[in-house]
Amino acid sequence: MGIHEIRILIVVSMELCLTSAVHAAQGNAVFYTSTNTPACSKEQNKGTMVTGVSDELWGNGAACGSIHRVQCIRGANKAPHPCHDGASVEVTVVDYCRPPCNGVLNLYQDAFG
């Protein structure tokens, strides 16, 4: 293996290390207005850009504190203008949405709107 080949291998390896994996999924989101104590006790007082998650993401509490970027792509009901021009928000998981949870994410109202 020549010097040139080793340099290319090092650059490619560095790029792979610096690249993070991003997972995108579609699902329904609902909202709540209650201020009850969240299931993630260490995540209290995180403001209003927070969410609860259903069993699909909960992972026995492993989701606590994880941050998700959420973007509305279409409304599930007939409400006028459910999405705001493709804008996205970042929310922190602070709670568990117990079954029957009507969405994958149960966003606090400020994050939903």
List, in sequence order, every beta strand (DSSP E) within 8-57: 29-32, 50-53
Is the confidence at residue 83, as pLDDT, over 60? yes
Q: How many domains does the chain have?
A: 1
Helix (H, G, I), strand (E, B) or coil at 58: helix
Is the confidence at residue 1, as pLDDT, over 80? no
110 pLDDT tier (thresholds 50, 70, 90): confident
| Phi, then psi, of 89 in degrees rounded to 5 | -135, 155
- Write out pLDDT tens, residues 4-23: 344 444 444 444 444 444 56
Residue 13: inside a domain: no
- Write out pLDDT tens, residues 48-61: 899 999 999 999 99
The neighbour count for residue 46, using CB atoms within 10 Å, is: 17
Q: What is the pLDDT of residue 57?
A: 93
Residue 84: inside a domain: yes
CATH number, domain at 58? 2.40.40
Residue found by looking up tokens 């117990």 in the block: 98
Range of the domain at 94: 24-112
Residue 35: inside a domain: yes
pTM for the complete prediction? Answer: 0.71
Out of 31-45, 71-85, 89-103, the most confident range is 89-103
